[in-house]
Amino acid sequence: MGASWKRTHDCGELRAAHAGATVVLNGWVNKRRDHGGIYFLDLRDRYGITQIVLPQKVAGDVKLGPEYVLSVRGKVTLRDGANINRERPTGEIEIAVEHVEVLSSSPVPPFPIEDEIDTALDLRLRYRYLDLRRGSLQRNLIHRSKFIQAMRRAFEREGFLDIETPILTKATPEGARDYLVPSRVHPGEFYALPQSPQIFKQLLMVSGLDKYFQVARCFRDEDLRADRQPEFTQLDMEMSFVDEEDIFGTWERVLQATMREACGVELESPFPRMTWDESMERFGVDKPDLRFGLELRDAKSWAADCEFQVFRNALAAGGRVMGITVPAALALSRKDITTLEDGAKALGAKGLAWWKAEKAGGAGPLAKFCVAPGSAERLMALMSASDGDTILFVADREAVVRKVLGDLRNQLGRKFSLAQSGTWKFTWVTSFPLFEWDEDSKRWFSAHHPFTAPVDWDLGGANADFAKLSSRAYDLVLNGWELGSGSVRIHRADVQQRIFEILGIGPEERQRKFGFLLEALSFGAPPHAGFALGLDRTSALTLGLDNIRDVIAFPKTASAADLMCGAPSQVAPEQLAEVHVRTAVEAQVAPEPKA
RNA sequence: GGGGAUGUAGCUCAAUUGGUUAGAGCGCUGCCCUGUCACGGCAGAGGUUGCGGGUUCGAGUCCCGUCAUCCUCGCCA
């Protein structure tokens, strides 16, 4: 026999059909309504809320405070018509209590445990275990769990092996800042936490495991954002004897199955694809939100011979003149335009030229340059504008034009609610630049990572313009969010050597930093490619959330602190000595605990 | 590292131009109430105005610094 306090049902499952049964429920006191002679109490667990009815004599002198944990035994009773609560699945019944046992008491919680809450985030994070009692956060975690489990099943069906890779690994010279872990056994040496399992999954391909996947925790010591935590979770995968088409096809099947099982959404495939160049040219960003139009348009052919010096100078200096046509239906006031211009200037634009388009000449700062015969018509045709539309122009270096107009487009999308929620516009963005020039160190860096295959194995030959080389890297973008990225890898030693030369990594340095990988690749590496999907972002996005904190049980603050457990924290001098570390920071008095 | 916002009761907020004893709702405590489910009624407790300086006859309010949280630029191969 089990203990008599153990539940026979959960707080969400009893219905009218259970009437008459004697049951035991366990849960937390959610709300109390004391009517003197009769006492109502809502008992809550992960599965729901059930109303408990206590005649006063049963409640007696036992205190049943908020968030107390109870075991209640009683009879499932049908409610009279007027007393049925139609808002609740369990609303047709209630429990007429015969016995109540307090399993655990509680102080009054620092904030109410309710679905909708406007409590300050730092307080919620300090008492995260209470925050997580709230139905809305529990539903988020349940969704995330369902999503990840569906994805695991899909990869298993595809023949992938779930293989774990080390958390204590080697510091990587490029990329994000590493989290370091001092070694006790090797004085003065450090492990690094993985930014991703990148190198290990390539080694697994060399090993012939063929198809690998893992739900992998990754660590990057960089500043946080709403969509970035210092530790985050990826669905990481790699395949052998494949090219990007196999990666795209696998992921499209996996995402279709996952979205169907976890979200009840049918995705169309194949997903659209566009090159990085196309994305930058049409949307100004490398993660376009395809739920709305407002694409960027090139005004060069009009601007080149117009009277507006700013436009002509920008072109003469090798820059661009581009614009966005805002349809008349989306009314922009002068004040709106001023606000948009302020935003544009903050991003580096010198100004925002605009024209209220009309064949008769229109209005706005640009109107006086559109008076020449045919000029207005020509510009309107170029910008796909009709009478009454407003066109916003930026003239500058290409990078500035794209950045400003890309941001402007997203702002307009938000302002006019153009992006419909519940719509899932996936797209692959391919052919990213292979290298990026770093002005500070005067050298080239890999845009993705140094093992990314170039589109052209010859790397453009002897006199190549490295800035123009493309890589076989790709991102998966959903509704304006970068969900993940991957690439076809270099499996040819000669190409890898050439990449290192261009990056300015000499033979000695190469050997020290990547020797084990290069050696492994020399032992018969299959052509391979992979991808990793950010599960925090994907979970959040499929729930319609704009902050990944809400799908992470124990997230960190913008300063990478855990307000609940107090990490990071100082450690005892003995602990530091053991790992051969001395801090450069003055020893400080430990801060007062905040409670 | 830079920019912006916020910080007043357990929680969410208010407090006129710098001016009396810093208020309200919710929650909490006590009493009353047999059909509530945002129960209702009466009464009550509860404050280092984030912290430290300064200006002033007088500071929640103005100034300087600092801390925390959020958003963001840089950063994130």
Closest CA to B1 C1' — which residue?
Answer: A223
Q: Which of A104, A133, A155 is the last residue of a domain?
A: A104
Residue A244's domain spans which residues? 121-290+526-595
Q: What is the CATH number of the domain that holds A307?
A: 3.30.1360.30
Q: How far is the CA of A119 from the C1' of B13 (A)?
A: 12
- C1'-nearest nucleotide to the CA of A220: B76
How do residues A343-396 score in pLDDT, each as one tens digit?
Answer: 888 888 888 999 999 988 889 999 989 888 889 999 999 999 999 999 999 999
Is residue A246 located within the same domain as residue A371? Answer: no
How many Å apart are CA A320 and CA A268, to the nearest integer? 36
Kindly give the pairing relationship between strand A296-298 and strand A273-275.
unpaired
- Whether the per-residue pLDDT at A454 is higher than 90: the answer is yes
Output the pLDDT for position A59.
Answer: 56
DSSP class of residue A525?
Answer: P
Output the pLDDT for position A525.
Answer: 95
Output the pLDDT for position A594.
Answer: 35
Q: Identify whether A31 is part of a domain.
A: yes
DSSP string, A323-335: EEEE-TTS---HH
Report whether A517 contacts A170 (CB < 8 A).
no
How many Å apart are CA A397 and CA A347, to the nearest integer? 13
Question: What SS3 class is residue A55?
Answer: strand
Q: How far is the CA of A507 from the C1' of B56 (A)?
A: 71
Q: What is the CATH number of the domain that holds A131?
A: 3.30.930.10
Q: What is the CATH number of the domain that holds A74?
A: 2.40.50.140
Is residue A258 located within the same domain as residue A239? Answer: yes
CB atoms near residue A427 (< 10 Å): 19
- Mean pLDDT along residues A195-199: 95
**In sequence order, what are the residues at sequence separation of 6 or more whose Cβ sits closer than 8 angstroms to the Cβ of residue A159?**
A211
Is residue A175 located within the same domain as residue A226? Answer: yes
Q: Which positions in strand B are less than 7 Å from the protein's CB atoms?
A: 1, 10-13, 26-30, 32-40, 68-77
Q: Identify whether A440 is part of a domain.
A: no
Is residue A279 located within the same domain as residue A132? Answer: yes
Output the pLDDT for position A509.
Answer: 87
Q: How far is the CA of A229 from the C1' of B5 (A)?
A: 21
Which of A62-71, A416-425, A550-559 has maximum average pLDDT?
A550-559
| Count of domains for chain A | 3
Using CA atoms, how far residue A268 sits from A192, A260, A273, A404, A544, in Å, is 40, 11, 13, 32, 20
Output the pLDDT for position A207.
Answer: 97
How many Å apart are CA A24 and CA A288, to the nearest integer? 53
Q: Identify whether A476 is part of a domain.
A: no
> Which residue's entry shows tokens 């335009």?
A337
Q: Identify whether A142 is part of a domain.
A: yes
Is residue A152 located within the same domain as residue A277? Answer: yes
Q: Identify whether A73 is part of a domain.
A: yes
Of A183, A178, A170, A182, whose CA–CA distance to A195 is shortest? A178
Is residue A150 located within the same domain as residue A222? Answer: yes
Q: Identify whether A400 is part of a domain.
A: yes
Q: Which of A390, A415, A440 is the last residue of a domain?
A: A415
For residue A584, what pLDDT band results from cuts at 50, 70 and 90?
confident
Is residue A243 located within the same domain as residue A165? Answer: yes
- Whether the per-residue pLDDT at A589 is higher than 60: the answer is no
- Whether the per-residue pLDDT at A593 is higher than 60: the answer is no
Q: How far is the CA of A39 from the C1' of B30 (A)?
A: 17
**Residues counted in chain A:** 595
- Whether the per-residue pLDDT at A208 is higher than 80: the answer is yes
Q: Where are the beta strands (DSSP E) in A415-499?
A: 426-430, 435-438, 443-446, 473-478, 481-488
Task: Work out the end-to-end distance of chain A between its first and last CA atoms, rounded to an integer number of angstroms.
Answer: 43
Report whether A323 contacts A296 (CB < 8 A).
yes
How do residues A290-320 score in pLDDT, each as one tens digit?
Answer: 999 999 999 999 999 899 999 999 999 999 9
Q: Identify whether A506 is part of a domain.
A: no
- C1'-nearest nucleotide to the CA of A56: B34
Question: What SS3 class is residue A576?
Answer: helix
Is residue A262 located within the same domain as residue A326? Answer: no
Q: Identify whether A477 is part of a domain.
A: no
- C1'-nearest nucleotide to the CA of A223: B75
- Whether the per-residue pLDDT at A246 is higher than 90: the answer is yes
Q: How far is the CA of A228 from the C1' of B53 (A)?
A: 37
Q: How far is the CA of A108 from the C1' of B28 (A)?
A: 8
Q: Which of A394, A415, A436 is the last residue of a domain?
A: A415
Q: How far is the CA of A223 from the C1' of B61 (A)?
A: 35
Query: Residue A480 carries which side chain, given as an amino acid letter?
Result: G
Closest CA to B11 C1' — which residue?
Answer: A111
Closest CA to B77 C1' — which residue?
Answer: A175
Is residue A187 located within the same domain as residue A148? Answer: yes
DSSP string, A180-236: EEE-SSSTT-EEE--S-SHHHHHHHHHTT--EEEEEEEEE--S--BTTB-SEEEEEE
Is residue A133 located within the same domain as residue A282? Answer: yes
For residue A576, what pLDDT band results from cuts at 50, 70 and 90?
very high
Is residue A269 located within the same domain as residue A300? Answer: no
Is residue A130 located within the same domain as residue A222? Answer: yes
